[in-house]
Amino acid sequence: MSVDAPPVTPTIAPLTRRKDPRQQTQRILNVVTLFLGVGIWWALSATGINLPSPPEVLAAAVKLAADGTLWNDMLASLTRVLTGFALGTALAIPVGFVMGWYAWARGLLEPWVQFFRTIPPLAIIPLAIVLMGIGEQPKIFVIFLAAFLSCVISTFQGVVQVDRTLINAARVLGAKDGTIFAKVVVPASTPFILVGMRVGLGSAWATVVAAELIAAQEGLGYRMQQAQIYYQLPTIFVGLIVIGILGLIMDRALLLVEKKLTGWQERR
């Protein structure tokens, strides 16, 4: 009499995410280029060129941070950038979708978008101050305009360049316009939208510095202007570095969101 052996259930090893060696190399190169850049800066300041050395800039940053000036300026600039950027992208995305999806909306809106896109937002600062005063409204408005114009074009191009084969296939399967828009157009346009947001973020930072040069009482741009009047080069460098760091952090945050939302997209 034979006894059947119990069935053997195969064991599945847990999946482990392998680290991409390209990402590790990228991080190493980032650190190397950072130290290389600081080294070149230090060497140039030591040759007699009218540049403050890294220790001088660090001392100025510590002094500004100790008395609270740096934190107040950072908060003021960040508030303006985030407010204008959020308002600009919040309006640009639906406007870009409408322009790309409906031909009549494209005919009505695209000439105006292209017209204002050729006008630098910095050129509108004097007009904004005359119409809105010297408060926060003109500063936020020009940042809003810079972010809006950058993002609306990318969103519009993303909708226009959606593969018509996908749309036609969805129609054949019985999908309505709303379903096609939500399931096909929006996912295909997401990479374009996020690229436009990253470009708009850079435009927002460039615009806020210029806006704070006029009729501002605090902010990184205002602090740099005051330092220029009194020839305080280390303070100017502090402002430049802080703006670069904040902009880089925000850009990397958007890049992380892009990777999460567009994981289906093939990358190099």
pLDDT tens figures, 89-148: 999 999 998 888 888 888 898 888 888 888 887 788 888 888 887 788 888 898 899 899
Tell me if 148 is assigned to some domain: yes
CATH of residue 122's domain is 1.10.3720.10
Distance CA 186, CA 153 (A): 15
What's residue 176's pLDDT? 76
Tokens of 225: 């202007």
82 in Cβ contact with 147 (< 8 Å):
no
Distance CA 209, CA 222 (A): 8
The end-to-end CA distance of the chain, in Å, is 63
Tell me if 212 is assigned to some domain: yes
What's residue 1's pLDDT? 46
Q: How many CB atoms lie within 10 A of CB 143?
A: 29
Distance CA 188, CA 181 (A): 10
Tell me if 133 is assigned to some domain: yes
Tell me if 97 is assigned to some domain: yes
What's residue 34's pLDDT? 87
Residue type, 35: F
Tokens of 95: 């406007």
Residue 52 pLDDT greater than 70, yes or no: yes
Which pTM was predicted? Answer: 0.80
Tell me if 44 is assigned to some domain: no
Span 176-217, pLDDT tens digits: 777 777 778 888 888 888 888 888 888 888 888 888 877 678
Tell me if 15 is assigned to some domain: no
Give me the domain span that covers residue 209.
Answer: 51-261
Tell me if 214 is assigned to some domain: yes
Tell me if 16 is assigned to some domain: no
How many domains is the chain built from? 1
What's residue 63's pLDDT? 93
